[in-house]
């Protein structure tokens, strides 16, 4: 084995979270401002160097179990007894930005690079699935795709994902609240609501996703923004928003965002706001920094 290097980035779901579980489309965007880099070196034992744990793999905290499971499986696959795994990530945990999938992607890439074995896309996604299944139960595959590749993706359960070229003259502002979300808990909360009310809200979210895709293709920014805000109201009804997420949405809209909503699983994590230009994005970022210090923007071109 030689020294292996792997990288991946964060992701942002523009629209379709939760309804994607019920066969409606979701649109996920690569968020390259946040990255994870993994370096693997030959070693006698297996050790991990990360912000959550530094030392022997067997003594790592339970939160890292999905990643440990992946590492052990990769070691067995390559008949590799020991290695030192160094991770460097600025993707926040529990923020709905795909941190676990990005780390799994970067680790897999580093193993294959270090073992000098070609890694195709399908194999990469299969390895990420090993980790994500333990982390999230039944992962949709959205995180694995978007954190590993540079394209935006339209994802519909049971269908092949479709890449979507983005050429919107607009910006997306992302604000991370200080609350960690739980995807498993949020999915269960939505499932409970569906068992009580049926699929009315889910189908409403699905219809909004279809509208958003049309507005993106037609470059209708105002309509896209309104659709995002409508989606937030439905997600709020499903019980997965929080006071802080709602406050961020409200402040973004007050400062000329075209639309705003939570992104990802909810119950914490992040919100997103659509801005018509860089000046508007800066204004929205400024007001959101009064609520949370963790605010970024990205171009949608």
- Pair of tokens at residue 14: 């523009």
pLDDT at 134: 80
pLDDT at 301: 86
What is the C-alpha to C-alpha distance for residues 276 and 202, in angstroms, rounded to an integer?
Answer: 28
> Where are the domains positioned within the chain?
4-155, 166-299
Q: CA dihedral defined by 91, 264, 259, 286, rounded to 10 degrees?
A: -30
Nearest to 235 by CA among 28, 10, 13: 13
Computed from CA positions of residues 93, 98, 99, 100, in that sequence, does the dihedral angle turn out positive or negative?
Answer: positive
The domain over range 4-155 is classified in CATH as 3.30.230.10: yes
> Is the distance from CB of 96 to CB of 181 less than 8 angstroms?
yes
Computed from CA positions of residues 247, 267, 231, 146, in that sequence, does the dihedral angle turn out positive or negative?
Answer: positive
What is the C-alpha to C-alpha distance for residues 297 and 130, in angstroms, rounded to an integer?
Answer: 31
Helices then strands, counting H and E runs in the chain, come out as 9, 11
What is the C-alpha to C-alpha distance for residues 19 and 262, in angstroms, rounded to an integer?
Answer: 14
> Is the distance from CB of 71 to CB of 104 less than 8 angstroms?
no
pLDDT at 288: 98
> Is the distance from CB of 95 to CB of 181 less than 8 angstroms?
yes
Beta-strand relationship, 259-263 and 270-275: antiparallel
127 by DSSP, 3-state: which? helix
CATH class of 166-299: alpha beta
CA angle 198, 182, 92 (to 5 degrees): 140
Could you write out the three-class secondary structure of 184-235? HHHHHHHHHHHHHHCCHHHHHHHHHHHHHHHHHHCCCHHHHHHHHHHHHHHH
What is the C-alpha to C-alpha distance for residues 229 and 75, in angstroms, rounded to an integer?
Answer: 46
Nearest to 85 by CA among 107, 59, 58: 107
Instruction: Identify the segments of the chain with pLDDT beneath 70.
Output: 137-138
- The DSSP H or E segment spanning 26 is strand 26-42
């Amino acid at each position: 084995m030689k020294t292996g290097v792997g990288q991946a980035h964060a992701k942002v779901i523009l629209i379709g979270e939760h309804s994607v579980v019920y066969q409606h489309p979701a649109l996920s965007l690569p968020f390259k401002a946040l990255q994870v880099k993994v370096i693997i070196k030959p070693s006698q034992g297996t050790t991990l160097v990360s912000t959550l744990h530094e030392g022997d793999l067997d003594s790592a905290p339970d939160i890292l179990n999905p990643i440990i499971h992946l590492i052990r499986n990769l070691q067995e696959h390559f008949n590799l007894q020991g290695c030192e795994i160094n991770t460097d990530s600025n993707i926040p945990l529990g923020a709905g930005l795909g941190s676990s999938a990005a780390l799994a992607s970067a680790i897999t890439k580093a193993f294959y690079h270090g073992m000098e074995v070609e890694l195709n896309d399908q194999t990469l996604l299969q390895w990420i699935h090993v980790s994500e299944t333990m982390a999230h139960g039944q992962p949709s595959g959205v995180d694995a795709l978007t954190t590993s590749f540079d394209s935006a993706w339209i994802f519909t359960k049971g269908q092949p994902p479709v890449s979507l070229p983005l050429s919107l003259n607009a910006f997306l502002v992302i604000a991370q609240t200080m609350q960690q979300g739980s995807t498993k808990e949020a999915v269960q909360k939505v499932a409970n609501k569906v068992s009580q009310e049926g699929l009315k809200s889910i189908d409403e979210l699905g219809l909004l996703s279809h509208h958003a895709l049309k507005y993106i293709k037609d470059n209708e920014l105002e309509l896209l923004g309104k659709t995002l805000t409508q989606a937030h109201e439905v997600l709020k009804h499903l019980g997965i928003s929080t006071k802080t997420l709602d406050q961020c949405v409200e402040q973004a809209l007050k400062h000329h965002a075209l639309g705003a909503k939570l992104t990802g699983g909810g119950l914490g994590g992040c919100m997103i706001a659509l801005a018509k230009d860089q000046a508007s994005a800066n204004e929205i970022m400024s007001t959101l920094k009064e609520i949370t210090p963790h605010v970024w923007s990205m171009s949608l071109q």
